Amino acid sequence: MNTPAHQSVFGAVHLGYIVIETNRFTDWRRFGTDAIGMHHDAPDAGLMRFRLDDQECRFLLRRGPAEDVVATGWHIADHPTFERIEARVRAHGVPLVQGTAEEAALRGVERLLRFPGPKGITQEIYTTPVKSAEPLRMLASGFVTGDSGMGHVAITSTRPTQIRGYYNTVFDARLTDCIDETISGVKLKIRFLRVNERHHSIAVAAVQGLPIDPIRTRVQHLNIQAATLDDIARSYQRVYELGFDMALSVGQHTNDKELSYYARTPSGFEWEVGWNPVTIDEATWQPTTHQGISVWGHTPVGRTIIDKLDQFRLGARSLTRPEVTVPALGGTGVCDD
């Protein structure tokens, strides 16, 4: 039956904003404005926002102890598609909460709905983003957003097929490709999911053969796309000069060909600044599996044996706590194509 709820929403979904909970406002302001080069504003003492473009908010930081991403906001292209997604979620018995006018205003959006997401990351959908008349004040020349959204979110998971099932159910996400990688003797499979022409808006990494999650935070990294190669080079230099930790040096990925580096945020998860990834042609693209995450570069920076031991401890601890997968939407999961 091809009811409105069953009609595909692929291509009408775009990653629009991220909500982060932190008490490290001073460090985050330096990181976001002085290192990465984004526009900053502060609606009040307990909130901070960063802009990448004319949309009022791309990153909303609120005070709290999580030191993590707590919500992802998805821009839905039109009202009928918004209602189609809402109907899907309701049909699976998952509760939705309508955002207040104040919450929508802080995010710079209209018609805000939220519902539970994998790993405890609340999923928020909205229709019309509010454009700001205030000129951008950024060290960067610009960032790439537009029809493909604003970069991607990467998570680690012990239940990757259920995570893929979730995003397939809600957004008709498609598998772009996979990467097999061995890091410090641990074998990983990383699955890259797209919801539009961007190579991926969600990446899901899983330890092969072991149900462990070696990452403390809900997200492993966030990505934003710089407008120019010069922007990448200058922000990389600023991260070093300002004393922020670098996680991975500049390199180029095997699958999306993006040139990027990874810095460590004040909250502990990583922040990738990338440039010039491939765009997907739906008429010709076929999923493949790549060996290794990088063609060159992306060398770990400053990792010690203590860091590795901490990861093993976190992995062992993850065995005792169940991962949030929202079974009503993830179902039995979706295996690799």
C-alpha 319/C-alpha 315 separation (Å) is 7
Specify the pLDDT at position 186.
Answer: 79
Mean confidence (pLDDT) of the chain: 92
pLDDT of residue 5 exceeding 80:
no
Specify the pLDDT at position 111.
Answer: 93
Give the mean pLDDT of 189-216: 92
Residues with Cβ within 8 Å of residue 25, at least 6 apart in sequence: 48, 61, 63
Where on the phi/psi map is residue 27: left (φ > 0), alpha (ψ -120 to 50), or beta? alpha
Q: Are 156 and 213 in contact (CB under 8 A)?
A: yes
Q: Are 80 and 16 in contact (CB under 8 A)?
A: no
Q: Are 149 and 53 in contact (CB under 8 A)?
A: no
Place 210 in a pLDDT band, splitting at 50, 70 and 90: confident
Instruction: Report the range of poorest mean pLDDT among 52-66, 134-148, 204-218.
Output: 204-218
- Interval 265-283: pLDDT, tens: 999 999 999 999 999 999 9
Specify the pLDDT at position 328.
Answer: 97
Place 307 in a pLDDT band, splitting at 50, 70 and 90: low
Sheet holding 13-21, edge to edge: 39-41, 47-51, 59-62, 13-21, 68-76, 122-126, 113-115, 97-98
Q: What percent of the chain has pLDDT over 70?
A: 93
pLDDT of residue 89 exceeding 50:
yes
Sheet holding 259-264, edge to edge: 289-291, 174-183, 186-194, 202-207, 152-156, 221-225, 270-275, 259-264, 246-253, 294-297
| Length of the chain in terms of residues written | 337
pLDDT of residue 335 exceeding 50:
yes
Give the mean pLDDT of 299-306: 67
Q: Which amino acid is at 321?
A: R
Specify the pLDDT at position 237.
Answer: 98
Q: Are 323 and 161 in contact (CB under 8 A)?
A: no
Give the mean pLDDT of 26-52: 96
- Interval 247-269: pLDDT, tens: 999 999 999 999 999 999 999 99
Give the mean pLDDT of 1-5: 60
Closest CA to 46 of 67, 62, 58: 62
Specify the pLDDT at position 244.
Answer: 97
Place 174 in a pLDDT band, splitting at 50, 70 and 90: very high
Give the mean pLDDT of 88-117: 97
- Interval 98-109: pLDDT, tens: 999 999 999 999
pLDDT of residue 156 exceeding 60:
yes
Six-digit token string for 276: 């010039």
pLDDT of residue 93 exceeding 90:
yes
Place 337 in a pLDDT band, splitting at 50, 70 and 90: low
